């Protein structure tokens, strides 16, 4: 029972750290986007270009943030340690079933030869 409690604690700690890093990424995205916008509009960075470069930078950063969000709230939520254990147990059961079938086939073949 103590091992199970420890695993639950470690899972909760890991999820909390993931969410904390995601929130930090969000704040960094907001501040960075603001900085890029101000640098473009008020300080004249990129005046020689015809395109609005800060919008492209913010869009790419937003896409990366969305991927991070999906990883934390969707992928890791469903594909956690419990899911891994269930998949491993299922695969081991299939392997054992296949081994027992092969053993019974070998036994049947040896009995038929005798």
Q: Under a CB-based contact definition with an 8 Å cutoff, are residues 92 and 60 in contact?
A: no
Confidence (pLDDT) at 26: 96
Residue with tokens 């299922």: 90
pLDDT score of 55? 87
Assess contact for 52 and 40: CB atoms under 8 A.
yes
pLDDT along the chain (114 residues), means of 10: 80 89 95 89 72 85 94 81 83 91 85 72
Q: What's the whole-model pTM score?
A: 0.64
Find all residues with CB under 8 Å of 72, minimum gap 6, and list them.
18, 19, 22
């Amino acid at each position: 029972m103590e091992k199970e409690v420890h695993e639950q604690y470690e899972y909760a700690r890991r999820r909390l750290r993931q969410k904390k890093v995601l929130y930090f990424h969000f704040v960094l995205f907001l501040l960075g986007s603001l900085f890029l916008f101000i640098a473009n509009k008020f300080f004249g960075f990129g005046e020689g270009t015809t395109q609005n470069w800060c919008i492209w930078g913010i869009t790419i950063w937003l896409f990366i943030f969305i991927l991070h969000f999906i990883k934390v709230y969707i992928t890791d939520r469903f594909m956690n340690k419990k899911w891994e254990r269930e998949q491993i147990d299922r695969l081991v059961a299939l392997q054992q079933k296949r081994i027992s079938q092969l053993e019974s086939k070998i036994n049947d073949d040896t009995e038929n030869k005798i």
